[in-house]
Structure 1
Amino acid sequence: MQLRIFTEPQQGASYDDLLAVAKATEELGFDAFFRSDHYLAMGTDGLPGPTDAWTTLAGLARETSRIRLGTLVSSATFRHPGVLAIQVAQVDQMSGGRVELGLGTGWYAEEHAAYGIPFPAKRFGMLEEQLEVVTGLWHTPAGQTFSFTGEHYQLTDSPALPKPAQPQVPVLVGGHGKRRTPALAARFASEFNIAFPQLGDIPAGFARVHQACQDIGRDPADLTYSVALVACVGADEAEVGRRAAAIGREPAELRENGVAGTPAEAAARIREVQEMGAERVYLQILDLADLDHLDLIAREVAPQLS
């Protein structure tokens, strides 16, 4: 079971805050540092203001050496796929081949309005074409060109450069959709993720992707299956309560569908989702100043999973 740290910087974090968390992630033995891709806070003032996901990851690519780096998830509304392909390939080069791309439709209308970003009502077709374009550019052999004609994007004789350092950048597709999302994961993804699910929904969500893979002749085992869950772990009940209060949540609610409670409770929850088919868990860390939280998980939870 791989444990990855997942952050929400739009809630209020500078690059230096994220760097501290990323360095702790690496030093404590976690597998990866991921971040959301949002430009507007939700329920807070967001100070000191948003940081751009791929600018952040470019910096972290040069200041870390082992952990994987990625987005959960970038919005198809934020960047043209040709630009996104260049950005991700460059950051992959800067990291020595440690980048992963999570890509989704985008959903937060208010952040688009706040920064003048178009927010079409129908975005799934955009996502599908972006996945075709980004992966098509990366996989075009050097010396050849890539062209694409779709409803939303048109590319003509692109040199399809630069190339990522990795032969294949892992692409993550996720969501709760019952038909179109599993089909996209089967076609394009190396990982399928369900974020903040009702626990009982996890097996069916994975099963839909298995079936979508079988429908196109792909081995379902080609994909990695993961979940993202909020983390709130404490050495005792008082510490659990303090950490829950710091993120404006209740311990009982966090225990119901998150990785929360004592280290033994947290480990039991991770084993539970592992039995449902999850091979990787993204631990959503909301209080980025509380590095002791990461230390506790690394020392007291992770060893119980080996």
Structure 2
Amino acid sequence: IKGERPTFSGKYYRTQEAMANPRFRDHIPLLIGGSGEKKTIPLAVQHFDHLNLIVSNVDEIGRKIEVIKARCEDIGRDPATLETSTLVGAIVGENIDRDLVPEEFRDRLLLGSPEAIAEQIKTKVLDAGVNGVIVFVPTQVVGYQPGNITALGEALKPLVSG
């Protein structure tokens, strides 16, 4: 119980005036991932604090956000109280051939210069209503290019620094 310092003596363990540090929270934030409109989104709206949208195409995000808002309206929840995020792949390079990307990942990945990728994240993800983005760089597709991740981070900085 919050604030107590319990003492316990059992067969294998014992403690005297144990202190819980960090202290217990009144509410543990809950996160769920998915984008199913029949189960996952309504479940997230009803019971969760954060929804990580898992989409097969970044162009679906805006419509998914509209579904979230509608389900929130159905139950009287302020959509701003449900945080959202999504995972976005980024291949940094000036002349990336989209055909090099395995077909099942093509619609999930953003390609281009660091600045072009940052702009795509802004318009396709953040402007669509998603609160946060997790970016991964699949170097196995075009190989590791020194400096690309740093350059992408620099281009993304204005989007996250307020």
Q: TM bucket by the smaller chain? A: 0.5 to 0.7
Structure 2 counterpart of 1:259, one-letter code: L
Q: Deviation at 1:181?
A: 0.9
Q: Does 1:269 align with 2:120?
A: yes
Match for residue 179 of structure 1? Answer: 38
CA distance in 2, matches of 1:173, 1:204: 19
Distance 1:185 1:166, change over 3 A: farther
Match for residue 110 of structure 2? Answer: 259
Q: Deviation at 1:222?
A: 0.3
Distance 1:165 1:267, change over 3 A: farther
Alignment of 1:212-223 (within 5 A): 212-223=71-82
Distance 1:204 1:166, change over 3 A: farther
Structure 1 counterpart of 2:112, one-letter code: G
Q: Deviation at 1:166?
A: 7.0
Picking from 140, 143, 156, the partner of 1:302 is: 156
On the 8 A contact 1:171/1:190 being kept in 2, the answer is: yes
Alignment of 1:162-201 (within 5 A): 167=25, 168-201=27-60
Match for residue 148 of structure 2? Answer: 293
Deviations 1:219-243 (A, max 9, x none): 1110112221111113x32xx46xx
Deviations 1:179-214 (A, max 9, x none): 211121012222222224323321221222222223
CA distance in 2, matches of 1:210, 1:222: 11
Match for residue 132 of structure 2? Answer: 280
Distance 1:297 1:276, change over 3 A: same
Picking from 101, 106, 109, the partner of 1:249 is: 101
Match for residue 80 of structure 1? Answer: none
For the pair shown, which has the larger CA radius of gyration, 1 or 2?
A: 2
Distance 1:279 1:163, change over 3 A: same
Distance 1:303 1:206, change over 3 A: same
CA distance in 2, matches of 1:219, 1:276: 17
Structure 2 counterpart of 1:266, one-letter code: I
Distance 1:275 1:292, change over 3 A: same
CA distance in 1, matches of 2:152, 2:24: 30
TM-score (norm 2): 0.66
CA distance in 2, matches of 1:172, 1:276: 20
Identity %: 24
List gaps (5 residues or longer) in structure 1.
1-140, 144-161
CA distance in 1, matches of 2:90, 2:54: 13
Alpha-carbon RMSD across the aligned residues, in angstroms, is 3.4
Structure 2 counterpart of 1:177, one-letter code: G
Picking from 231, 236, 245, the partner of 2:90 is: 231
Q: Deviation at 1:302?
A: 1.2
List gaps (5 residues or longer) in structure 2.
4-19
CA distance in 1, matches of 2:47, 2:139: 33
CA distance in 2, matches of 1:183, 1:191: 12
Distance 1:280 1:184, change over 3 A: same
Deviations 1:9-38 (A, max 9, x none): xxxxxxxxxxxxxxxxxxxxxxxxxxxxxx
Q: Does 1:203 align with 2:55?
A: no
Structure 1 counterpart of 2:83, one-letter code: T
TM-score (norm 1): 0.38
Q: Deviation at 1:304?
A: 4.8
CA distance in 2, matches of 1:230, 1:189: 25
Structure 1 counterpart of 2:109, one-letter code: G
Q: Deviation at 1:163?
A: 8.5
On the 8 A contact 2:85/2:133 being kept in 1, the answer is: yes
On the 8 A contact 2:115/2:152 being kept in 1, the answer is: no
